[in-house]
Amino acid sequence: MKYLLAIIMMAAATAAGPTFAGEAESVALYYHETVGIPEAERIKQAERAADFDGAKIIGGAAAPVGTYPFLVGLVITLTSGAMSVCGSSMLSNTRALTAAHCWWDGRNQARQFQLVFGSARLFSGGTRVTTSSVQVHSGYSPTNLNNDVAMISFGSVPYSNVIQPVALPSGALLNSNLAGSWVQAAGYGKTSDAGGILQSQFQSHVSLQVITNAACSQSFGGIIISSTLCTNGATSSGPVGTCGGDSGGPLVVTSNGQRVLIGVTSFGSSRGCQIGLPSGFARVTSFLSWIQARL
């Protein structure tokens, strides 16, 4: 798959925000108004328009329900009354991890999350729980997306074959920067900058390779810090990475036969997801103590 359905803030350059360091790429800010709100409407209308047909997804590899049982969709009600969408990762039957910008993007404040478990669709099916209990990391900055993590608390959801928590890093993963590792991101969303949400929209996934933060900073400059994790944006077969659809969704690595959460989808270039630049994530190992204290 070339462009993941996970959510990331891919908006037009006109909506981009400042350039942070010299000629460095700027990241797209104000997620809800540039991506989340229009994508929510597209997804909703597409789901109303046609029966699901996962075989017709464009530019990607469909991931049937249960492939990523820890992937939790977020249908977001903003304080303005508008609707937006994000993704998250189930950590326990009462906790999920998402991006802080899904709750507050610097301009738009969420009032409520509806968590969607075990469903191919965001607006129908699955197990659904509503909550307003969200704790944003105290170091989160909406102007550069540093420390872009938030913990969601919700009423207990029973596990099933399509609803399961994801493992957190342990052992050797705790001290690895993972550079060179092949990892997977998953979510709902669009598969190109120009494309919208399709009538056949479905969970999808993409394999990416982790790059060093030094390599990532060549694109994004000073916003890349130790708690950032980046993946490659270009391959011999074309650009790859996360795209507009579900910010806050999971990035996982397989270790000892188990998928382990290593990243929370956070940012990309303001110029879009098809230009071959890296995708940025909050590095889970950097926030492990913060996460575990809230489980």
Q: Give the closest residue to 164 by CA, choosing from 285, 259, 86, 246.
A: 259
Identify whether 193 is a catalytic site residue.
Answer: no
200 is catalytic: no
CA dihedral in degrees (175, 170, 73, 33; nearest 10)? -20
CA–CA dist 91, 100 (Å, integer)? 16
Task: Please tell me which residue in 89, 148, 219, 279 is annotated as part of the active site.
Answer: 148
Strand ranges for the chain from DSSP E: 61-62, 71-78, 83-92, 95-98, 110-117, 127-131, 133-136, 150-153, 182-187, 204-211, 228-231, 234-235, 238-239, 250-255, 258-267, 279-283
Mapping DSSP to helix (H, G, I), strand (E, B) and coil, where does residue 23 land? coil
Catalytic residue among 88, 219, 247, 266: 247
Q: How far apart are alpha carbons 38 and 114 in whole angstroms?
A: 17
Candidates 101, 119, 204, 269; catalytic one: 101
d(CA 241, CA 156): 33
Concerning whether 101 is annotated as a catalytic residue, the answer is yes
DSSP state of 205: E
Positions marked catalytic: 101, 148, 247
